[in-house]
Amino acid sequence: DPVILDTGAVLFPGMARRESGPLLDAARAVVRAAPFRHLMTPGGRRMSVAMTACGEWGWTSSLDGYRYSRTDPRTGAPWPSMPDLFRDLVRRATHEAGFAHVPLQSGLVNLYRPGTRMSLHQDREEQALDVPIVSVSFGVAATFLWGGMTRGDPVRRVRLEHGDVLVWGGPSRLRFHGVAPLAQAEHPETGACRVNLTFRRVTKLA
Ligand code: MD3
Ligand code: FE
């Protein structure tokens, strides 16, 4: 059953667990076409999360800033298309959480190895802040850091497990969030890793 974490933030524990094999296979196909890479932050740091993307728009970062690109900057080719299995899951989660608009323009694939973390940040490069973000977690469980509207606000720790699906909309869309360093652990489907899929709408609603 869904758990309301906060206004607009709905957790569906294990929603993607039954289909994790095919979903992870689809993610591997994306990674074959657009391999994982460690992006640089505008501040000159190498991100410990390895990333790639699928769909119409891919999120990238470099010394020049954060941006969405229609093509993989490594190759100039369009990002791999978004697998139908991803679309179906995102539609289902978005509707069950009660939102009207489904975030299907961008699918980010994040790979966490032991020790990988994501520091507190806001997702605000998108022009459709009224459309929720959907995220899906696989493999080794992580501690998600759920902050407030300013960086210094207190942070809640939420465990994200294999197959968990989260929808973040309304006032939760702009909260600071991050991921604590991944523990050394094993999962039968991903080994020592955690894989996170994050879906967004990038452009303004017509
Ligand atoms: C809450 N990824 O890619 S997913 C990111 O686990 C990102 O890889 C984390 O933060 C990860 O930007 C968290 C869950 C998530 C994604 C976006 C959010 C939570 C969010 C945007 C607003 C509020
Ligand atoms: Fe984020």
- C-alpha 88: how far from its chain's center? 16
Instruction: Provide CB contacts within 8 A for 179, sequence distance 6+.
Output: 112, 116, 117, 118, 142, 143, 144, 145
Query: Quick one: CA dihedral 205, 59, 79, 182, positive or negative?
Result: negative
Using a 6 Å cutoff on CB, does residue 194 contact ligand 1?
Answer: no
3-state helix, strand, coil in the chain (%, to 5): 15, 35, 50
- Confidence tier at 5 by pLDDT (50, 70, 90): very high
Q: Does 25 show up as a binding residue in the annotation?
A: no
User: What pLDDT, in 10s, does the model give residues 106-124?
Assistant: 999 999 999 999 999 999 9
What's the alpha-carbon Rg for the chain, to the nearest Å? Answer: 16
Q: Which two tokens stand for residue 151?
A: 């960086």
User: What pLDDT, in 10s, does the model give residues 35-77?
Assistant: 999 999 999 999 999 999 999 999 999 999 999 999 999 999 9
User: What pLDDT, in 10s, does the model give residues 133-169?
Assistant: 999 999 999 999 999 999 999 999 999 999 999 999 9
ipTM rounded to 2 decimals: 0.94
CA–CA separation, 167 and 170 (whole Å): 10
- The alpha carbon of 121 and the centre of ligand 1 are apart by a number of angstroms equal to 9
Q: Is the pLDDT of residue 206 over 90?
A: no
SS3 category, 157: strand
Using a 6 Å cutoff on CB, does residue 179 contact ligand 1?
Answer: yes
- Closest ligand 1 atom to 200 CA: 17
Domain boundaries, the chain: 3-200
In terms of Cα–Cα distance, which of 139, 170, 24 is closest to 89?
24
pTM over 0.95: yes
CATH of 3-200, one of 3.40.50.970, 2.60.120.590, 2.60.120.260, 2.40.160.40: 2.60.120.590
Residue 105's Cβ-side half-sphere holds a number of Cα atoms within 13 Å equal to 19
Using a 6 Å cutoff on CB, does residue 140 contact ligand 1?
Answer: no
The secondary element (H helix, E strand) that includes residue 167 is strand 165-168
